[in-house]
């Protein structure tokens, strides 16, 4: 058992992996996490230059910057932190580290799926709240208030529909970040571009198969809600389908990463 997992050994490796992630991507994460504030400063500078007064930052711009930062992290974090494993020297050093393949895989999963999104959101929402507190008139409402979707949640609850938004967003994040991390440790060059190309090709194949399947069972999916007595039952069935789909995709990405780490040779 100690050859697979040892808590003390894993703790030491996890701290090493965290330091490595901080050194390779810490500055980038800080910049992206405070991108809303940086954009606000630039926006107000241009407003002063062209109109000689401060203007309220558009809500649409806040959304755009918020999701743009998340997208950039998803695309680039895996490559910046673990992409050098495909290089001979870095790959050899990685293999020599005193930890099992399972421990290295677990550490990679925790950092990409838990640590990164938590820090990114803390930076985004923290800097956003500070800017909203200091400049309430020009910066406007906090992002947390804008994306809370409180009215939508209340409407769903009135109809007996409960959605685990946190779990759904975490699974969605994990699906994409693991995909690009797997691409980062598989491809030696053009990691992001080749990963996107693979996603496109697989999506085309699955879409074609899906259209063939839906063509045979089209009525069942087009009239999905008509098959159930209440909307609540329809949503529960849809939740089960989404859970199965996420389990297959996230599990497949985790399995692919583990296999790649296990077969890594230099």
Q: For 78-95, write each residue's pLDDT tens digit.
A: 999 999 999 888 888 898
Cα distance between residue 19 and residue 258, in whole Å: 21
Give 12's pLDDT tier (boundaries 50, 70, 90): very high
State both tokens at 206: 């699955």
The total number of residues shown for the chain amounts to 266
Q: What is the pTM of this model?
A: 0.87
115: pLDDT strictly greater than 90: yes
Give residue 222's pLDDT band: very low, low, confident or very high (50, 70, 90).
Answer: low
Query: Distance between CA atoms of 239 and 93, rounded to whole angstroms?
Result: 43
User: If you average pLDDT over each of 44-48, 224-228, 252-256, which comes out highest?
Assistant: 252-256
Mean pLDDT for the chain overall = 85
Q: What is the pLDDT of residue 214?
A: 62
Q: Is 18 exposed, middle or buried (0-12, 13-18, 19+ CB in 10 A)?
A: middle
The answer to whether residue 176 scores a pLDDT higher than 60 is yes
- Whether the predicted pLDDT of 230 surpasses 90: no
Residue 4 has pLDDT above 60, yes or no: yes
Q: Which helix (H) or strand (E) holds 207?
A: helix 191-216
| Residue whose token pair is 């959304």 | 63
pLDDT reading at 159 higher than 70: no
Read off the pLDDT band of 160 (50, 70, 90).
low
Given this model, what pLDDT does residue 231 score? Answer: 65
* Highest mean predicted confidence (pLDDT) among 32-36, 46-50, 168-172: 32-36
SS3 28: helix
Residue 105 has pLDDT above 90, yes or no: yes
Quickly state the pLDDT bin for 224 (edges 50, 70, 90): low
pLDDT, residue 49, reads 86
Instruction: With beta carbons less than 8 A apart as the criterion, state whether 252 and 244 touch.
Output: no
Q: Does the structure show a pLDDT above 80 at 182?
A: yes
Instruction: Specify the higher pLDDT residue, 141 or 181.
Output: 181
112, 77 in Cβ contact below 8 A? Answer: yes
Predicted local confidence at residue 153, as pLDDT: 60
Q: How far apart are CA 134 and CA 138, in angstroms?
A: 9
Residue 107, Cα to own-chain centre: how many angstroms? 16
Average of per-residue pLDDT across 37-46? 91
C-alpha distances out from residue 190 to 51, 76, 187, Å: 43, 12, 7
User: How confident is the model at residue 211, as a pLDDT?
Assistant: 72
């Amino acid at each position: 058992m100690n050859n697979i997992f040892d808590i003390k050994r894993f703790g030491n490796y996890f701290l090493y992996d965290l330091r490595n992630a901080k050194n390779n991507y810490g500055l980038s994460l800080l910049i992206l996490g405070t991108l809303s504030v940086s954009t606000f400063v630039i926006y107000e500078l241009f407003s002063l230059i062209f109109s000689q007064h401060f203007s309220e930052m558009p809500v649409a711009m806040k959304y755009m910057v918020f999701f743009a930062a998340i997208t950039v992290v998803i695309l680039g974090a895996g490559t910046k932190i673990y992409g050098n494993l495909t290089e001979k020297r870095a790959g050899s050093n990685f293999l020599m580290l005193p930890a099992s393949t399972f421990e290295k895989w677990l550490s990679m999963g925790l950092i990409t799926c838990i640590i990164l999104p938590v820090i990114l959101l803390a930076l985004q929402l923290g800097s956003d709240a500070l800017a909203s507190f200091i400049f309430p008139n020009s910066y406007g409402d906090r992002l947390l208030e804008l994306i809370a979707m409180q009215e939508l949640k209340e409407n769903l609850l009135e109809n007996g529909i409960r959605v685990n938004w946190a779990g759904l967003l975490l699974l969605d994040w994990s699906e994409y970040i693991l995909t690009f991390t797997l691409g980062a440790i598989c491809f030696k060059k053009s990691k992001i571009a080749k990963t996107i190309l693979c996603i496109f090709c697989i999506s085309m194949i699955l879409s074609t198969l899906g259209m063939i399947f839906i063509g045979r069972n089209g009525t069942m999916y087009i009239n999905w809600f008509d098959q159930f007595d209440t909307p609540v039952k329809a949503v529960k069935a849809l939740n089960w389908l989404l859970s199965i789909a996420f389990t297959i995709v996230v599990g497949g990405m985790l399995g692919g990463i583990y296999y790649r780490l296990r077969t890594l040779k230099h």
